[in-house]
Amino acid sequence: MLRFQGWSRRVGRAVVLVAATSIATWIALPAPDANAQARAPAAAATDKDGLTPRLKPETIQALFPGAETVTPAPGRPLALEVRIGGELKGYIFSTLDVVNATGYAGRAFDLVGGMTVDGKMTGAVLQAHSETIIGRGVPQARLDQFIAGFASATVDTWRTVNPDLLRGASTSGRAFKAGMQSAVERVYTAHVKGEAFQVITEPALDRKGFAVYTGDELLAKGSVARTDITVREIIKRFETQAGPGAVPDQQMYQLQSLDEPFITFMTALATPASIGNNLFGDTRFREMTARQADGLTVWMGADGFFSFASNSHFNRDLGYQFDQVKLVQGNTVVRFNRDMYQRMAPAVSLGTFLPRRDNMVFFIPASAGIDPLRTYQVVLMVPGHNAQGAALTIEIPLAYNLPDIHKLLPPPPPKPVWVEAWESQTINIGILGALLTIVTLVFVFQDILARNRTAYNVVRVGVLTFTLGWLGWWVGAQFSIINILSYLQAPFTGTGIDTFLLDPLFFILGIYIAVTLFVLGRGVFCGWLCPFGALQELSNKLALLLRVPQVKIPRGVQERLWVVKYIAAVGILGIGLYSVDMANQLEELEPFKTAINVKFMRELPFVLYAVALLGAGLFVERFYCRFLCPLGGALAVFGRIHMFQWLRRKPQCGTQCRICEADCPVGAIEPTGQINMNECLQCLDCQVDYYDHDKCPPLIARKKRKQARVDDGIGIGAPMPQPAE
């Protein structure tokens, strides 16, 4: 049944009252201290001596046992030199000063690290942070284990730092890892390697770098380019350009077949040591390098009937130029002359072929303007004539593109941290996708599922059990009011989408909640995907099996208790925009951290609070969800304008029949028979009653009418008997 939902006057008044109360409270709070952030540990000044006051002696010793002097290192970025016995042993630095990395909360954290002069980390200490997620569900032992992993990292290796140790807060863990990794690289580059280290910012030709390659490997990698032209192919090219009868001038003695090679041609840029040295050997390569200076050396070799090295370079009238080969790059054309070449054959075979007819290296001066990093063409110019005897030339270009292995390339941009998170969570993402698909199918086919009470109960208990066991206790993806606060704060704190992508499960779950919120309302999440809600409902079902008496809350009392969760929601969100720390304290109204994230392994007062709420839920189903949950209150407010109402009702609902109202576990059905979607958890209990022919009075009455017709001898579809005349 499709319709836009009307506004509930009573809840509307409550929301307005809550909003007004929260705004008044916000206005009454003292104005933020402009210097508070500067005094906070996570935002200490980053001047030259800014790190020293933040370090305790025990922190220094933990990072560098036996450290004697710690002094600011010259230059930037900010780091402290650590000396023992007067010898420089390493550096201490902070992510705050070096990269100003921020976490999931959108605020900078102060993760201090130590590194030896050979690029090995000595450890890390988390000085300060504002990561609420860590406070919610990560035991200190696991946080310590994660931080300890930094001690095994190096400037090149970070596999030992595993953010997934912070299950439930891996977003923050990845932010810590990425921030420290960037800080280490910057400090190492600036202070260890210093000015002598050439930082590659743009691609360049690697002239000196050397690696051993065979001739076959050079050919296979593209370091040597090759083309093969048969006699048949060259004749076809002439005829295509100049018509039938056009042929090359080249004399082809002892030609056995038109498929014999007219020319087999190879070329390579011999300037890089990993090409030239491998082709010609170290001695000849050093001679070649001395002659080319800062220019380039190109080797060409050929075999077959055609020779690119004609005798034209001995002809003064032709300017001593090679008239059958040239090099072209864009609009730049290089013509070779007798002063630019040297005969030189490779010392290795290239595949099964070793050029014998022509072997030359050509030296190209830097002033020629050839860029070795860009593709250029070696062009063979084959002279010939057409059928009428007119001279013509066919050009055969061979493109040469220097492989990257012979270039100095800037380091590739680091893979975004969130990509690593998604790659490492592939299985969990798939499982979550399956869970969300099942929940979606429940609502798409709810009319079919609700017709079978047994099937419905199996699906309902199965989904809730999986939500609690896997989504909650195993992967710790318990959504919270703090998640909504983070989304609301993002435009003001500059938090980008990359931050939210750091935890794929929360990101996917957040999108699903947002979509279903504006399609069907809050009940899709609250009724099916909230681990603590599942824990309450499953424990209440167990209580029903044990015949624990249930308490029916009078409607008047219930309506007043509903207001509490709206006050809590608006209060936490409003205060959170003023102070994250205060919001974190108020967030303890949610028992999620205690019951789900840390599985009751917490201080006694928090455990007693969570147990008390669950205990109340044994007598009043979903007690916390109905009356106290700020997350549910916030979702109800945002989901008021949902698009569809898929829960079916009959005209008799609320007038002739009130069974659904009595059976609704959260009291969301009004005496009029209408469903209050602000309070409905979409459990579908009322839909099962709607289709139950043994429980729904309109269906029972219809069944009795049909039976009465059968008893009177009137079959279904048979004509009614006519009265006697």
pLDDT digits (tens, 9 = 90+) for 256-303: 889 998 999 999 999 998 999 889 887 788 888 889 889 999 999 998
**Contacts by 539-546 with C-beta closer than 8 Å and gap 24+?**
539/614, 539/617, 539/618, 540/617, 540/618, 540/621, 540/622, 540/665, 541/461, 543/618, 543/619
Task: Examine the fold and report which residue of 408, 436, 456 is the final residue of a domain before the chain moves on.
Answer: 408
More confident residue, 272 or 417: 272
Each residue of 589-641: pLDDT tens digit?
999 989 998 899 889 999 999 999 999 999 999 999 999 999 999 999 888 87
Q: Residue-wise over 270-297: b if at least 16 C-beta within 10 A, else e?
A: bbbbbbbbbbbeeebbeebbeebeeebb
d(CA 692, CA 524): 23
pLDDT beyond 60 at 45: no
Q: Examine the domain organization and report whether 351 and 388 are in the same domain.
A: yes
Based on the fold, state whether residues 247 and 350 are members of the same structural domain: yes
pLDDT computed for residue 34 by the predictor: 32
The answer to whether residues 330 and 471 belong to one domain is no
User: Looking at the structure, do residues 451 and 376 belong to the same domain, yes or no?
Assistant: no
Of the candidates 377, 408, 439, which is a domain's last residue? 408
pLDDT-derived band at 93, boundaries 50, 70, 90: very high
Higher pLDDT, 276 or 585: 276
Q: 714 in a domain, yes or no?
A: no
pTM (2 decimals)?
Answer: 0.64
CA-based diameter of the chain, in Å?
Answer: 134
Per residue in 469-479, pLDDT (tens digit) is 999 999 989 99
Mean pLDDT over each residue of the chain, to the nearest integer = 84
The pLDDT of residue 436 is 96
Of residues 643 and 560, more confidence is placed in 560
Instruction: Please give the average per-residue pLDDT across 246-257, as a whole number.
Output: 85
- 327 shares its domain with 214: yes
Grade residue 19 by pLDDT with cuts at 50, 70 and 90.
Answer: very low
Task: Supply the pLDDT for residue 486.
Answer: 86
Total domains in the chain come to 3
The answer as to whether 169 is a domain residue is yes
Give the tens place of pLDDT for each residue, 109-165.
Answer: 899 999 999 999 999 999 988 887 776 667 888 888 999 999 989 988 888 888 888
Determine which of 141-145, 393-397, 425-429, 566-570 has the lowest per-residue pLDDT on average: 141-145
User: What residues pair up with 91 in beta bridges, in sequence order?
Assistant: 81, 115
Is 709 a member of any domain? no
- pLDDT at 713 (0 to 100): 63
Same domain, 455 and 348: no
Rounded Cα distance, 297 and 286, in Å: 12
Q: What is the pLDDT of residue 8?
A: 37
pLDDT above 90 as % of the chain? 44
Pair 386, 457 in one domain:
no
DSSP state of 511: H
Model confidence at 32, in pLDDT bands (50, 70, 90)?
Answer: very low
CA distances, 96 to each of 108, 264, 424 (Å): 6, 62, 27
Average pLDDT over residues 236-257: 88
| Whether residues 486 and 587 fall in one domain | yes
Higher pLDDT, 525 or 30: 525
Mean pLDDT of 228-234: 93
Q: Are residues 343 and 395 in the same domain?
A: yes
Whether the Cβ atoms of residue 381 and residue 327 lie closer than 8 Å to each other = no
User: What is the pLDDT at residue 719?
Assistant: 54
Query: Taking 70 as the threshold, does the pLDDT of residue 358 lie above it?
Result: yes
* Residue 676 belongs to a domain: yes
Say which residue, 246 or 495, is predicted with more confidence: 246
Q: What would the mean pLDDT of 406-420 be, rounded to a whole number? A: 84
End-to-end CA distance of the chain: 47
Instruction: Determine how many CB atoms are found less than 10 A away from the CB of residue 627.
Output: 22
Domain that holds residue 279: 205-408
Rounded mean pLDDT, 692-698: 82
Residues 278 and 369 reside in one and the same domain: yes
Say whether both 430 and 382 belong to one domain.
no
pLDDT in tens, 309-327: 888 778 888 888 999 999 9
Whether 20 is in a domain gets the answer: no
The per-residue pLDDT for 199 is: 60
Q: At which of 408, 429, 464 does a domain end? A: 408
- Per-residue pLDDT, averaged over 75-92, amounts to 90
User: What is the pLDDT, as a whole number, of residue 198?
Assistant: 57
In whole angstroms, what is the distance from residue 521 CA to residue 421 CA? 30
pLDDT band at 462 (very low <50, low <70, confident <90, very high): very high
**Same domain as 179, residue 72:** yes
Residue 475 in domain: yes
Average pLDDT estimate for 583-591 = 85
Q: Does residue 158 lie in a domain region?
A: yes
Instruction: Indicate whether 4 belongs to any domain.
Output: no
CA–CA dist 325, 307 (Å, integer): 10
- The helix or strand, by DSSP H or E, that contains position 287, with its residue range, turns out to be helix 282-292
